[in-house]
Every structure is written in structure tokens, then in C-alpha cells.
Amino acid sequence: MASPSAPFVSLLLPPSPKPSTTVSSLLNLPPSRFPPAGNTISSGDRFKCSAGGIGFFTKLGRLIKEKAKNDVEKIFSGFSKTRDNLAVIDELLLYWNLADTDRILDELEEALLVSDFGPKITIKIVESLREDIYAGKLKSGTEIKDALKKIVLDLLTSKTNKTELQLGFRKPAVIMVVGVNGGGKTTSLGKLAHRLKKEGVKILMAAGDTFRAAASDQLEVWAERTGSEIVVGEGEKVKASSVLSQAVKRGKQEGFDVVLCDTSGRLHTNYSLMEELISCKKAVGKVIPGAPNEMLLVLDGTTGLNMLPQAREFNDVVGITGLILTKLDGSARGGCVVSVVDELGIPIKSKSDNRVFVLVRSLGAPDL
């Protein structure tokens, strides 16, 4: 018999909670692994989170490492444009056969044009290869590539062999550096001074760039770095010819071995500025008959096919004796210099911080 107090006990107990009806329960979905909204996470659970274990300095270190990696990749991809264009040659010649000769030579012609060789030199190279292939002299892709290297090297070296600076026996030897604006004349002059200084040469610099405001300051920094003396013009309207003349006179009187003359950048199409360059050359020649010993033209590797008209004009006006190629450590392709050397017979005296010439290196040939 049931106890009479049972109903009263049940009335005193709290009602049992009813199961909550949710969308997940209605659709028979599996329970979520995330806590419901409004629930708080205990401090123990918070410190167990894996993301919380990475500190600020760890994240900063990772960011710096990733940034450094990207910078290094940019530096070492400097020659990528020429290398990528000329890498087509390897692919073309890998599966070469006689039946595909015309098609492969057409694609080779396109690759050379894209690398700024110029139409005249490109046709000359391709037709020479075509004749040797059909004559049976070249029978494999490797032989064709070796022949291509040889043709390019012959074009760069066959018409001239005076790749070293011609300083002569009379002191001081005078070297003038000319070129268009922003080509790298002052920097090239500083690097040239560094190179000669290591050989024990006593150097005097002449700040002949009287147009650009910071040119003299820049050359003074190079003089300090290389331990060289420098002559700078006094006054705002000083003429470049007078600065160079004073520098050569001082070099002669004080027994310097080499006088390095910087000049202002000028467009090769500007007649009056080119005439001023002639007066600079004459001023130097009055102090030392036959000077300058070298007239070096700085060619910016990024100018492409415009190298050739620049070299023509400067050579006609002052007589260029050598070329300095700059900015070849970037995306420059530099193929047009082959046309310059072939047409004008002017040797390459220096290659941008002593780097291997881009074009020849891309073909796998030795340095000049």
C-alpha cells in the first residue's frame, strides 16, 4: 500500500527539466563540437589552445624570415628575363630533328629578337646556323647550341681585342666617361677608381658634371671611399671644360698616374650639349697632347635597342674607345650591345661591377 505522504512529497520536489527542442534535434544532426553561445571557456581550456602558444616574437621572427626570403629571391632572379627568353633555345634544341629545322630556327629568331639582339644581327646568326645545318656540319641540338655560343662570342671579340684600358706610358693617363642621363657614369667612375686603386695607381678625380646638383657630392664620396684626390669646380656657373683642364694640370704637376674625368649626362640628340662635350675633349688635349687616352661610353643595359643610336652619335662626335655596360644585374636583356660591337668595332671595357656579361652567361659561355 502506497504511503499517503507520497503525493505530497512529489509536490515538494522541483519539476524535472524538459529536453530543449533545437534545430539540430529536430533534423537529427550530430551534436556540434563548439560550445553553445553564451557559455564561457574556462581558463584551463583557454591555455590549452594551440594558437595561444605562439608568442609575439615568434610571429615577428617568421615575418622577418619570410620577408628576407622574398628579398633574396628578387636579387637572384635579376637575370631572369634574359635567361627565360634564351632558355627557349634549350627546349627547342632538345628534341631537334632535321625535318623541324625551319620551324625551330623561326622560334630561335623570335627568342633572339625578344632579347634585344636587333633584326640585323638576329638574321645574321640564324642564317649562319641554317647554312651549317643544311651543309651537314651541325647534326645535333648540342652542336647547334655550341655553334650559337661561338657565333655570339665571335661577334663580340672578332673586330677588336683591346678590352683592357689603354693607359699608355705618359703620365697622367686621362680617362673620360660620357653617356646619357642616368646611365651610371659617376658610379662607374667610382668603381673604376676602386679597381685601379687596388693595382696601386695614384688617382685624381675631376668632377666635370656641373649640371646635376649632387654629382660633385657623389664623386667626393667615391673619392673618400677609394682614397683618391678630387678637383671640384668653384662657383655655380663653372664650365665643365675648365674643371677638367684644371684637374689634368694638377695631375701633371703632382705626378698622378691617372685622371678620371666625369662629365654631365646628355641626350645624344641634343646638338649644343654634344658640342660642349667636344670643348671638354679639346680642353684636356691642350694640357696633354693626345689626351684623353680613353673615351668610355656608359650604356644602360635597360635601354634596349636604343643603345645603337646612342653609340653611333657619341662615337661620331668624340670618338669612343670603349664601352661600359651598367645595370645588367636587374631585368636588362642587353642583347643590343652585340650590334654595337659588331657595327662600330668598339670593345667592352667593363661590365657593371665586374659581373659576367648577361647575354653570354645566359648561353652558358665563358666570361669575356
pLDDT at residue 330 is higher than 70? no
What pLDDT is attached to residue 350?
62
Which pTM was predicted?
0.69
More confident residue, 41 or 249: 249
More confident residue, 192 or 265: 192
pLDDT band at 21 (very low <50, low <70, confident <90, very high): low
Please give the biggest Cα pair distance in the chain.
141
More confident residue, 135 or 18: 135
What pLDDT is attached to residue 227?
92
What pLDDT is attached to residue 86?
53
Distances (CA, A) of 4 to 8, 11, 13, 14, 141: 8, 13, 16, 19, 110
pLDDT band at 45 (very low <50, low <70, confident <90, very high): very low
Q: Identify the burial level of 171 via C-beta atoms within 10 angstroms of its C-beta, where 0-12 means exposed, 13-18 middle and 19 or more buried.
A: middle
More confident residue, 119 or 25: 119
- 307-318 and 271-287 helices cross at what angle (nearest 10)? 50
Q: What domains does the chain contain, in order, with CATH numbers?
A: 80-157 (1.20.120.140), 173-353 (3.40.50.300)
User: Does residue 118 come out as left (phi exceeding 0), alpha (psi in the -120 to 50 range) or beta?
Assistant: left
Distance CA 206, CA 202 (A): 14
Beta-strand ranges (E) seen in the chain are: 173-178, 203-207, 229-232, 258-261, 294-300, 322-326, 348-351
What pLDDT is attached to residue 143?
85
More confident residue, 304 or 317: 317
Buried/exposed code over 188-219 (b: 16+ C-beta within 10 A; e: otherwise): bbbbbbeebbeeebbbbbbbbbbeeeebbebb
Candidates 288, 257, 284; CA nearest to 165 is 257
Distance CA 275, CA 181 (A): 16
- 119-134 and 101-114 helices cross at what angle (nearest 10)? 160
- DSSP string across 67-91: HHHHHHHHHHTTTHHHHHHHHHHHH
Distance CA 271, CA 278 (A): 11
What pLDDT is attached to residue 85?
52
- Centroid of chain to Cα 128: 31
Distance CA 67, CA 61 (A): 10
User: Do residues 243 and 207 touch, judged by C-beta distance below 8 A?
Assistant: yes
Per-residue pLDDT, averaged over 65-83, amounts to 53
Q: What is the DSSP letter of 282?
A: H
Look at 58-72, 95-109, 275-289 and tell me which has the smallest mean pLDDT. Answer: 58-72
For Cα atoms 97, 101, 103, give the angle at the middle one, nearest 5 degrees. Answer: 115
Per-residue pLDDT, averaged over 207-222, amounts to 86
More confident residue, 343 or 237: 343
Candidates 323, 351, 104, 127; CA nearest to 361 is 351
More confident residue, 354 or 2: 2
Distance CA 193, CA 173 (A): 13
Distance CA 323, CA 166 (A): 13
pLDDT at residue 138 is higher than 90? no
pLDDT band at 51 (very low <50, low <70, confident <90, very high): very low
